[in-house]
Structure 1
Amino acid sequence: MLSTTAAAQLPSCWYLIPSHLNVHHHAQQKRKLTTLSLANADSRIPLRNFYGLSLPQTHNCSKGKESNNRARYNSNLNQNHRHLLFLQFFPDSDTEDSNNQNPRTRNHCQHQVDEQREFKENKEARLLFSNMWWVDVKAALGQRINLEGILCSTMVILKDPKLAMPHISVPDIRYVDWAELRRKGFKGVVFDKDNTITAPYSLKSWPPLESSLECCKSEFGHDIAVFSNSAGLHEYDHDGSKARMLEGAIGIKVIRHRVKKPAGTAEEIEKHFGCEASQLIMVGDRPFTDIVYGNRNGFLTILTEPLSLAEEPFIVKQVRKLETSFVSFWSRRGLDPLSQKLLSDPKPCVKEPYH
C-alpha cells in the first residue's frame, strides 16, 4: 500500500550578525530616519537607528538551534522596542552635535545658507542701485530746475530788484584787485563754482584763472571757500565725493550745505570763516542766485560773466538770458545796488588784468 508522507515545512532559522558588524548608537551622531522590516514581525517598526540586521529565512537548521536563535531575536526585538520608546520621548535632535552631521546633509545646509546670503546680497545691491539711480536723477533735475530760485526771483522782480544788482561787475576774476579788497578790510572770499572758476560741472579750475586764484590765496591765505549749487550741495553731491575732488584739484575748501542759493542763510559760511558775512566777498556768475544770495546776507557781491556756455543746459541758458535782461534794464534805469559798509566806492577794486 502506498503511503504518503507530508513534507513538513523546514524550520526557519536566524543568524546573528557578528558583534563587530553591529551598528551601535552614539548619542552625538546623526543618522537619517530608517524604516526596517523585521521578518516574522507583526508590523513594520520605524527606527531612527537600528542595532541588528536580519537575514532571509534559510533551511536545514536543527530545531534546537532555531529555538536558541528565536530567543535571541526576541531579546533584540524587545531592546528595539524599548529604544524606539526612548527616542519618542527624547529625540536625538536634542542631543546631536551639529559638527558631526552627515557630510551630504552638511553640504546641503551650507548650500542653502549660501543661496540665502547670495539672494540677500543681490537684493541689497538692486536696492542700492535703484536708490543711487534716483539720487542721480534728482541731482540732474535739480541742476536744471531751482524751485527756490524761481520763487525768490519772482519776489525780487516784484518787490526788491536791488537784490539782483551787484556791487562790482567784471568779465572774470582776473579783473579783481584782491590786494585792494584786503586793504579795505575784507577777511575772506566765497566763490561760486560753475562758470565762475570752473567750466560747468567740471572739477578743475579754468586754466586762464589760475594766476588770479593764486593771487587771491596770497592775499587771503586759507580764508577762501567755494559755495556752490553743485559740488558740496547735499542734493547734488550727497556723499561729498565731488567736493573732495574739487578741493584736491584747486586747493580751496568746499563748504557743504543743504539749501540752494539764493535761499538759505549765511550760517555755514560765517561758521567756516569765523566772521560776519558783511566782512566777506561773494563772487558768482548768476544775478538771481549768487548775487541775490550775497546781497540778502550782507556780502560784497561781484558778478562775473560766464566762462563757457557750451556745456550749459538749454534751460539754464534761457534763464540766464532772462536774468541778464532784467539786470541790464534796471541798470539803465539807474537802479543802484544795496550799500556795503566796507566799500563805498568799488572802482579802485577793479583793474585791468596782466596779459
Structure 2
Amino acid sequence: MWSADLKAALGQRLNLEGIVSSAMVVVKDRHMALPHVSVPDIRYIDWIELHRRGFKGVVFDKDNTLTAPYSLKLWGPLCSSLELCKSVFGPEIAVFSNSAGLYEYDIDGSKARELEGVIGIKVIMHTSICCALEVKKPAGRAEEIENHFGCKSSQLIMVGDRPFTDIVYGNRNGFLTILTEPLSLAEEPFIVRQVRKLETALVKHWFRRGLKPTSHILLSDAMLCVKNTPSS
C-alpha cells in the first residue's frame, strides 16, 4: 500500500502526458490553452444562462477548483454556487480529476467515494487506454464523460483552474471551457506553482497578441454567462 501512496505523490506532480501535450500546445496549438470564459471562481458563473443556452451538464476539476489541493472537502465560499448549479442541472454534474477517481492514484475508489459523500457530486472513475498509459488531462478522449452524461461533449461545460490540463483537454474534446483562478496556492508543491505561473503568463501573452479561443456553437458571446458579482 505504501508503494501506491508513493506513486500517487510523485505521479500527481509529474504528469508525463501533460508535459508532452504542453510542448505541443506551445509549438502549434496555442489556441487550445485559451478558455472560452475566465472567472475568479465558480460563484461568477451564471448556471441558469448556460442551461438556457442548451448545455446539459457540468464537469468540474477538483483540486483548486472545488477544493484546496489534495483536500476532499469543498471550499466553503463555493457552497451556494455549487448548490445553485445542482438545482439547475440536477444530477448532470460530475467531477473528473487527475487525483480522486483516477485508478492509478485512487486504486480502490475510496477517495472518489469520500468526495462524493462530502460534495454530493458523482466522481467519474477513469482508467487506462492502450499500452497501459493512464488517461490524465490533457491526454485522452472524452468517451467516459460522454457515456456518463449520455450526450456529446459539445453539450457539456468543463470547469478547471489549469490552462494546460483542464482547458486543453476541454477544448480538444469540444467542451465549453471555463477557467477559474486557483483557490489556494499554499498547499501546492513549489514546482507546480512555478509551472502554473508559466502557464498563466503564456495565456495572458497569447490573449494580448490577439489569439482567440476556439469558437463554441452554443455560446457565441462567452461573457453572457459571467456574473459581475459573485453569488452569495
TM-score band by shorter chain is over 0.9
Partner amino acid, structure 1, of 2:230 = P
Alpha-carbon distance in structure 2 between the residues aligned to 1:310 and 1:262: 24
1:222 aligns with: 91
Partner of 2:72: 203
Residue of structure 2 equivalent to 1:292: 168
One-letter identity of the residue aligned with 1:329: H
Say whether residues 1:317 and 2:186 are aligned partners. Answer: no
Name the SS of the counterpart of 2:184 in structure 1.
coil
Residue equivalent to 2:143: 267
Scaled by the length of structure 1, the TM-score of the pair is 0.63
Change beyond 3 A, Cα 1:354–1:274: closer
Task: Read off the aligned partner of 2:3 and give its amino acid letter.
Answer: W
Q: Deviations over 1:187-238 (max 9, x none)?
A: 0000000000101111110000000000000000000000000000111111
In structure 2, C-alpha distance between the alignment counterparts of 1:146 and 1:319, rounded to whole Å = 12
Partner residue in 2 for 1:147: 16
1:338 matches 2:214: yes
Aligned residue identity for 1:296: R
Query: How many pairs are equivalent?
Result: 224
1:347: Cα distance to partner?
1.2
Q: In structure 2, do the counterparts of structure 1 residues 354 and 133 end up closer, same or farther at CA, with 3 Å as the change threshold?
A: closer
| Structure 2 partner of 1:166 | 35
Q: Give the equivalent residue in structure 2 for 1:102.
A: none
The one of 126, 130, 134 aligned to 1:257: 126
Q: Show CA shifts across 1:10-44 (max 9, x none).
A: xxxxxxxxxxxxxxxxxxxxxxxxxxxxxxxxxxx
Q: Tell me how far 1:306 sits from its aligned partner.
A: 0.1
CA distance in 1, matches of 2:231, 2:82: 14
On the 8 A contact 2:61/2:160 being kept in 1, the answer is: yes
SS at match of 2:12: helix
Moved over 6 A (4+): none
Report deviation, 1:302: 0.0
**Gapped runs of 5+ residues in structure 2?**
128-134
Name the SS for the 1:303 alignment partner: strand
Q: Report the AA paired with residue 293 of structure 1.
A: Y
Q: Percent identity?
A: 77
| 8 Å Cα contact 2:63-2:70 kept in structure 1 | yes
- Of 184, 203, 208 in structure 2, the residue corresponding to residue 327 of structure 1 is 203
| 2:132 corresponds to | none
1:156 CA drift (Å): 0.4
Aligned 1:17-166 pairs, distance under 5 A: 132-166=1-35
Superposition deviation, residue 354 in structure 1: 3.6
In structure 2, the residue matched to 1:194 is 63
Whether 2:227 is the aligned partner of 1:353: answer no
Amino acid at match of 1:292: V
Equivalent position SS for 1:225: strand
Asked which structure has the greater RCO (Cα within 8 Å, sep 6+), the reply is 2
Say if 2:80 and 2:231, in contact at 8 Å, map to a contact too.
Answer: no
